[in-house]
Amino acid sequence: MADKEFPGWHGTTIIGVRKGGEVVIAGDGQVSLGQTVIKGTARKVRRLSPGGFEVVAGFAGSTADAFTLLERLEAKLEATPGQLARASVELAKDWRTDKYLQKLEAMLIVTDGKELLVITGAGDVLEPERDVAAIGSGGMYALAAARALIDSDLDAEAVARRAMGIAAEICVYTNANLTVERISA
């Protein structure tokens, strides 16, 4: 089957919310192939502990590609302990310039509780405005919902959960089966 005919993997919504001295990353569990839900309980948010330095990461895109990137990020964090931004920039540089890594189709949201970053294959390491970042097929729905909720009395986890619920109601590639990880600054 030619690449143009292949329906392609869709799905995932990942959100990161920083509020009240903590950061929450939440992700849905749906993996779809074309019009079919293949799995509804995937874990797309992970806790990493390279060298005792704790990081939470969420990924959207190809699972195998994301795991490759997470392994590379862990190696970068081991080389630069406690420096998430530096490790992320080094990963983004490698991702942009390495012929093998250039083919990877995924995005990451990472946090150490102080910094909240989005890492892309275009070489971007972005710190979001308004303390909310979102990626994936339902990312813009979750982002809009979280921005509307961020100034409310809700804590970071409640904002993330409500935003993900709204995204799941709108995006057919997002479900309400959430994995949520919290980390303090």
119-160 per-position pLDDT tens digit: 988 889 999 989 999 999 999 999 999 999 999 999 999 999
Output the pTM of the full model. 0.91
For 23-79, the three-class secondary structure string (H helix, E strand, C coil) is EEEEECCCEEECCEEEECCCCCEEEECHHHCCEEEEEEECHHHHHHHHHHHHHHHHH
For residue 12, indicate whether it is catalytic. yes
Residue with tokens 């895109």: 61
What average pLDDT does the segment 163-183 reach?
Answer: 96
Domains of the chain listed by start with CATH number: 9-184 (3.60.20.10)
**Per-residue model confidence (pLDDT) at position 10:** 54
Q: Tell me what pLDDT residue 17 has.
A: 98
Which of these is catalytic: 12, 13, 80, 174? 12
